Amino acid sequence: MAESVVLDTVDLQILRLLQNDARTTYRELAAEVGVAPSTCLDRVTRLRRTGVILGHQLRLDPAKLGRGLEALLLVQVRPHRRELIGPFVERIRALPESRALFHLTGPDDYLVHVTVADPADLQRLVLDEFTSQREVARVETRLIFQQWECGPLMPPGAGPSLSAV
């Protein structure tokens, strides 16, 4: 599980470029980074094998899919025991409205990022899937005005090379 991975500048440049556009061809990567296309393929294959790259994801516009309203739900699950939170997590993950789920420290045990059609849809979701459940002690709903994805994920102090576990 704790496999050691060493990343050099070539790896980091490739990752930065692919985060900018995950469909960049090996040819283009090679031209930018200054190595052969096959080397880029080798690097990317290794980054996938070692688990640095987890996968390629499609970014969709929820509004275009009829889910123009987004919200974060802060949820207390009580009692906070494995027998209850296991099924809770699986149930929430399976909801078509759920985009992401976080298990947190602090007064709220879980944060759920949901996408719904409109306020009525959100109300239905909160009432039918959260507050109606025995293990859900409290739900706090926060609407999302706007959201931003931030810059590329890079190692701290992105020097010329580093080792991570």
Partner DNA sequence: GCTGAAATCTGTCGGCG
Partner DNA sequence: CGCCGACAGATTTCAGC
Q: Which residues in this chain contact DNA in the complex, by CB under 7 A?
A: 10, 25-28, 35-39, 41-43, 45
The option from a second copy, DNA, none interacting with 84 (CB < 5 to 8 A, set by class) reads: none
Q: Is 160 in the site for a second copy (CB under 8 A)?
A: no
Residue closer to a second copy (CB basis): 41 or 60: 60
Site for a second copy in 1-40 (CB under 8 A): 5, 7, 15, 18-19, 21-23
Residue closer to a second copy (CB basis): 79 or 106: 106
Number of residues that bind a second copy (CB under 8 A): 68
Find, among 113, 112, 16, 3, the residue nearest to 62 by Cα. Answer: 113
Dihedral sign of CA atoms 111, 117, 122, 125 in order: negative
Nearest-approach distance from CB 53 to DNA, in angstroms = 12
Q: Which helix (H) or strand (E) holds 49?
A: helix 37-49
What residues does 69 pair with on adjacent strands? 116
Tracing tokens 């997590």 back to the chain, one arrives at 89
The option from a second copy, DNA, none interacting with 1 (CB < 5 to 8 A, set by class) reads: none
Nearest-approach distance from CB 159 to DNA, in angstroms = 17
Q: Can you read off the two tokens belonging to residue 25?
A: 């061809």
Q: Is 162 in the site for a second copy (CB under 8 A)?
A: yes
The option from DNA, a second copy, none interacting with 19 (CB < 5 to 8 A, set by class) reads: a second copy
Find, among 44, 19, 17, 48, the residue nearest to 33 by Cα. Answer: 17
Q: DSSP class of residue 96?
A: T
Residue 110, Cβ neighbours under 10 Å: how many? 21
Residue closer to a second copy (CB basis): 35 or 113: 113
Q: Is 69 in the site for a second copy (CB under 8 A)?
A: no
Q: In angstroms, rounded to a whole number, what is the distance separating the alpha carbons of residues 155 and 145?
A: 30
Q: Is 41 in the site for a second copy (CB under 8 A)?
A: no
